[in-house]
C-alpha cells in the first residue's frame, strides 16, 4: 500500500496563486477537470488557459485566468464564504479555500486595524484571485495530495508595487504579515516575488520545512510567473514525494518504533492549560476556535486544582509552527495565566484515501495499514452525511456500505 503523497513547495523565486496552479498542472493536473470543478463556483466571466513557457531556461506551465471585463469587484470575507458555501465542491476544498481567505482577511484586518469580516478584498477579491486560490485547493485534491510542506520563501525586496491603496513597499504589508515567523530566503531579485494570495496559501495550508526533509521524489513540476526575464528563473518548483519509513519532517532524528511495520513517525506539540473559571459554553467556544485555527485535536479533562477547586485541563495537539496561534487563543479565550507544552513523538499508520462506489454514490474512505494488513477502514463522515441526505437513508447504512465497498 503506497504512502500518502506529500507536496513539497520550493519557492526559491517566490509564490503566487497562478504559479501554484501552474505547478500542479505540470505535475499532471488535468485542466479540463480543474475547469469542471471551478465552474461550480458559479462566478462566470472568465476563461482558463495553460501553456508551456520558458523561464530562465526552465520549462514551466503558465496558468492564466482571462477576465471577460476589466472591472474588479470588491468582496468581503462573508461574500467569499457565501460563494464557497453555495458551490457543490467537496467539503475539504471549501474548508481549505475558506481557511486561506480567512488568513488573508486576518492579516489585512491587523494592518488596517479592523475586524477580519469588515475587510474589503481588492485584488484578492477579484475573480482571477478567487479562481487561483480555489484552483490550488481543487488541484491538490485531484492529485491526491494529503500533506503540504513548504521550504523557505523568497519574498523579493526593493521598490514598490501599485495596488488599490496606492504604492506599497515590497513585500507588501499583507504578505509580510502572513509570512511572519516563516523561514525566508534571500534573493537578488528586487521585485515582488510572493503575492498576498501565494503567502496566504502557504500560511494557511502548509507546514514549514527550513531544510529539505528526506523524501523519495516521484514527480517535479514548475509553475511559471508572469515576469519573463529576471536573474532568478521566475518559477515555483513543486515536488510530489513520499516520506521514507521515518520521515523526520523537521530534520530531527526520531526513533524507529513501529516504522518497520509500515507506519510513519513525526513530532507534534502537546499544549495544556488549566482553567477553573470558565462556563461550559465558553470552553465549547474555545474548542471550536482552536479547531477552526487548524490544530490537530482538542480535548478536555476534569481535574482538581489547589484549594480543592474543580477545573478543566485543556489539551491541544498541534504542529510546532502553530504554538503562537494556540497560545494566543488560550490566553484570549481561556482565561488561563499560563500553559505548558512539550514535543511528543507520534506514530501513524500507513494510510491512503480511496474513493469507493456504494449504492448511494461515491464515498472517500481512509484506510490504515500495519504490517501490510488493513487494520482500519474509516469512511469520510462528510461524504456519508451528504449521501444519506441525498438518498434519504440512515447515515449508518451509508457508513456500513462504504466500509463493505472498501474491504
Choose between 214 and 269: higher pLDDT: 269
- In the block, cell 485542466 appears at 31
User: Is the pLDDT assigned to residue 255 strictly greater than 70?
Assistant: no
Number of separate helices (H) and strands (E) present in the chain = 11, 18
pLDDT, position 277: 87
User: Is the pLDDT assigned to residue 202 strictly greater than 60?
Assistant: yes
Residues whose CB falls within 8 Å of the CB of residue 135, separated by 6 or more in sequence, listed in order: 17, 21, 34, 38, 63
Is pTM beyond 0.75? Reply is no
User: Is the pLDDT assigned to residue 2 strictly greater than 70?
Assistant: no
Mean pLDDT (whole number) for 162-180: 82
Choose between 372 and 217: higher pLDDT: 217
User: Is the pLDDT assigned to residue 222 strictly greater than 80?
Assistant: yes
**Spatial distance between the Cα atoms of 383 and 386, rounded to a whole number of angstroms:** 5
**Spatial distance between the Cα atoms of 246 and 264, rounded to a whole number of angstroms:** 6
Amino acid at each position: 500500500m503506497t504512502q500518502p503523497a506529500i507536496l513539497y513547495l520550493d519557492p526559491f523565486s517566490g509564490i503566487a496563486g497562478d504559479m501554484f496552479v501552474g505547478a500542479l498542472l505540470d505535475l499532471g493536473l488535468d485542466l479540463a477537470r480543474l475547469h469542471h470543478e471551478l465552474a461550480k463556483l458559479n462566478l462566470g466571466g472568465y476563461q482558463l488557459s495553460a501553456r508551456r513557457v520558458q523561464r530562465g531556461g526552465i520549462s514551466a506551465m503558465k496558468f492564466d485566468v482571462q477576465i471577460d471585463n476589466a472591472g474588479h469587484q470588491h468582496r468581503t470575507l462573508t461574500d467569499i464564504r457565501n460563494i464557497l458555501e453555495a458551490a457543490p465542491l467537496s467539503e475539504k476544498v471549501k474548508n481549505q479555500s475558506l481557511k486561506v481567505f480567512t488568513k488573508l482577511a486576518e492579516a489585512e484586518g491587523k494592518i488596517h486595524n479592523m475586524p477580519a469580516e469588515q475587510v474589503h478584498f481588492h485584488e484578492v477579491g477579484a475573480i482571477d484571485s478567487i479562481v487561483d486560490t480555489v484552483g490550488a485547493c481543487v488541484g491538490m485534491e485531484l492529485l491526491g495530495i494529503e500533506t503540504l510542506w513548504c521550504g523557505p520563501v523568497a519574498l523579493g525586496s526593493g521598490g514598490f508595487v501599485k495596488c488599490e491603496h496606492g504604492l506599497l513597499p515590497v513585500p507588501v504589508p499583507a504578505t509580510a504579515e502572513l509570512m511572519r515567523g516563516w523561514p525566508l530566503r534571500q534573493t537578488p531579485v528586487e521585485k515582488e516575488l510572493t503575492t498576498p494570495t501565494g503567502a496566504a496559501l502557504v500560511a494557511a495550508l502548509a507546514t514549514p520545512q527550513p531544510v529539505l526533509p528526506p523524501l523519495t521524489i516521484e514527480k517535479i513540476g514548475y509553475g511559471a510567473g508572469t515576469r519573463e526575464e529576471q536573474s532568478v528563473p521566475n518559477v515555483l518548483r513543486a515536488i510530489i514525494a513520499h516520506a521514507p519509513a521515518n520521515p523526520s519532517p523537521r530534520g530531527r532524528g526520531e526513533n524507529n518504533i513501529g516504522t518497520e511495520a509500515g507506519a510513519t513517525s513525526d513530532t507534534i506539540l502537546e499544549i495544556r492549560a488549566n482553567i477553573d473559571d470558565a462556563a461550559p459554553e465558553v470552553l465549547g467556544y474555545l474548542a471550536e476556535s482552536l479547531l477552526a485555527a487548524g490544530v490537530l485535536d482538542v480535548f478536555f479533562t476534569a481535574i482538581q486544582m489547589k484549594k480543592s477547586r474543580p477545573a478543566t485541563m485543556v489539551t491541544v495537539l498541534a504542529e510546532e509552527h502553530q504554538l503562537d496561534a494556540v497560545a494566543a487563543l488560550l490566553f484570549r479565550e481561556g482565561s488561563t495565566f499560563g500553559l505548558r507544552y512539550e514535543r511528543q513523538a507520534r506514530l501513524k499508520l500507513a494510510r491512503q484515501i480511496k474513493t469507493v462506489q456504494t449504492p448511494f454514490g461515491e464515498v472517500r474512505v481512509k484506510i490504515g495499514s500495519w504490517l501490510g494488513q488493513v487494520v482500519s477502514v474509516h469512511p469520510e463522515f462528510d461524504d456519508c452525511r451528504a449521501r444519506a441526505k441525498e438518498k434519504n437513508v440512515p447515515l449508518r447504512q451509508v457508513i456500513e456500505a462504504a466500509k463493505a465497498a472498501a474491504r
